[in-house]
Amino acid sequence: MPEPHPSTMTTTTEENKVKLILHCENGSPPYLTPSLLATCFPSTSRAVADHLVFGIAVRDTCVTPVYKPKEKKAKKTKRNDKNHPPSRQGSTVSDGASSVASTSSTKPTGYTFTGRPLHDDLIIPREYNVLACPSFDLIDDGKLGSNGAKAATATHKDVHLITQRGHQKLTPSLYRVVVENMEATTSIGLYDEASEDNAKRNAKSVERTKLWLEEWNNSSAELEKVTGHKKSKLWAPIVGGADLTLRLDCIENATKLGSVCGVALIGIHHIADRQARIELLQSCSKAVPKSMPCALLVANSIGQIMDAAQNGVSYIGSSLPALLARSRRALILDLHGWKLEEEREDRQYGDGRPKKRPRTEGGSTIDGCICLEDKAFARDTAPFVEGCSCLACTEHKRAYLHHLINAKELLAEILLFVHNLHVTIHLLQEMADATAIGKQMEFVQHIERQLHSV
C-alpha cells in the first residue's frame, strides 16, 4: 500500500506493533527468492522491520537421511602364475586373493532430525527476524499426511511428527539440539496437542508439555556450555484445547520458569465459534505478564488476525498470503479510509492528493478478496488496488493476472503472494498507527465493513 504522508504519520511503540509470523514452507519464505525478497520486502522498510517475522517449523526443514559409512576397498594383489594356474577360459570364478572386498550400500538407512543454519543452508538473511518451532499445529500437519493420516501422536518421551518423509520421532533433547544448530534466536518449546475434544486427553497433553518445558529450562544453561552457541530465547507453548482452566494452568507453569520470555497459544483456530475464540484469547492474554509477548501460531483469515490483534496478541502466525495466492485471490482492502470522517468517492489524503477507492467491479468480493480467475477480469486494466505500491500492482494489471492464471503460469501465484503479503504487513502497520492515537476501534470497524464474511 502507499506510504502514509509525513503529516499523518504517528509514532508507534513496541506495545502497538503486532507482528506477522509468516509460515515458511521447507524453511524458506513461500515463492520468494533471495533477490525477490530483498526487492519486495527489504529489511530496511519500516513496515517489514516492525511487522514481519519468518516462522520456521522443524517439521519442514530438518528431516535428513542418514547414510551408512562407506567401507574402504581392499587392495588388489597380483596373481602369482606359479602358485595359481590360470583359470579356465570363460569361467566366471575368480581367485579369492584377487577378489575385491564388497562395499556397503550407500542407500539411506533411515531419517533423523538435524539442525541446519538458517542463514547459510536455508538462505534467510540475518537482518530478518526468525522464530523456530516444532510445528505450527500438529493437528493440521496430520491433515496434510498421506493415506488418511491423522493428527500427530505423542508419548511421554517424544512427539511423532508427520512430514513428507513419513512419521518422525522428535524428543525434547533432540529438539533442543536441532534449534541450537539452526542458530535460531527465538524458538517455541516442544508440545503435545490433543486432536479430539476429550478432557482426559487434553489434560495429558498439558502435563507432557509442562514436563518438556521444565526439562528444557533445567538443561538450557548446560547445553549452551556444550555447544558453544548462544541459547535461543524460549517461548512456552500453551495447549489445552477449548478448556480455559487447562490453558491457564499451562500459562501459570510457564511464567514461573526463568528461561521463558514469551508464550505461544496453540490450536485456538480449531474453535469454530468466533465469540468463544475471542473470550479464550482475552482470558489467556490477561493471564500473561505484560513483560512477556503473546503469540497465536495460526490464524486462517483476516477476521481471525484482527480478533487476535485486538485481544492482546502481539505475534500472529499465518500462511494466509500463500493460501490466497493458490486460490487465485487478491486482497483489495482499503487501509486508509478509517482516517476520514466520511466515506466519499473523492476522499483525499492529508496533503490533498485524491485517493480512489479499491475497484471491485466485475467480480464479487469475499473476505476482502477478489478472485482473478473470474472471466469478468479478462479485460480489466486496473491494478489489484488503486495506489498500492507492491510489485504486482505497480507493474501489472488485473487482466494480465487473469491471463497468467488461465495459462497456469507459476508467475501468477508469485505476484498474488507478493501483493497479499504486502497488504497484510501494511494492515498491521496501519492498525499500529491507529492504536497509537486511540483510534483502533475506528480502524477495526472500517476493515470489518469490507469483509463480507469472517
d(CA 89, CA 413): 66
Residue 81 has pLDDT above 70, yes or no: no
Which residues, in sequence order, are CB contacts of 16 under 8 Å at separation 6+? 432, 435, 436
Mean pLDDT (whole number) for 62-71? 69
Give per-residue pLDDT as tens, 313-359.
999 999 999 999 999 999 999 888 877 744 444 444 444 444 444 55
For residues 192 and 157, the answer to whether their CB atoms sit within 8 Å is no
Signed CA dihedral, 135, 18, 384, 449: sign only: positive
Q: Does domain 42-64+109-318 have CATH number 3.20.20.105?
A: yes
Give per-residue pLDDT as tens, 413-430.
Answer: 999 999 999 999 999 999
* Residue 310: half-sphere exposure toward Cβ, Cα within 13 Å: 19
Residue 375 DSSP class: G
351 SS3 class: coil
Distance CA 379, CA 344 (A): 27
Mean pLDDT over the full length of the chain: 81
Residue 304 binned pLDDT confidence (cut-offs 50, 70, 90): very high
d(CA 64, CA 279): 41
Q: Using one digit for the tens of pLDDT, what is the confidence trace for 8-33?
A: 344 456 667 899 999 998 888 999 98
Rounded distance, CA 315 to CA 19, Å? 5
- Could you tell me the residue ranges of all domains in the chain? 42-64+109-318, 329-448
The residue that leads in pLDDT, 220 or 143, is 143
> Cell 500462511 belongs to which residue?
319
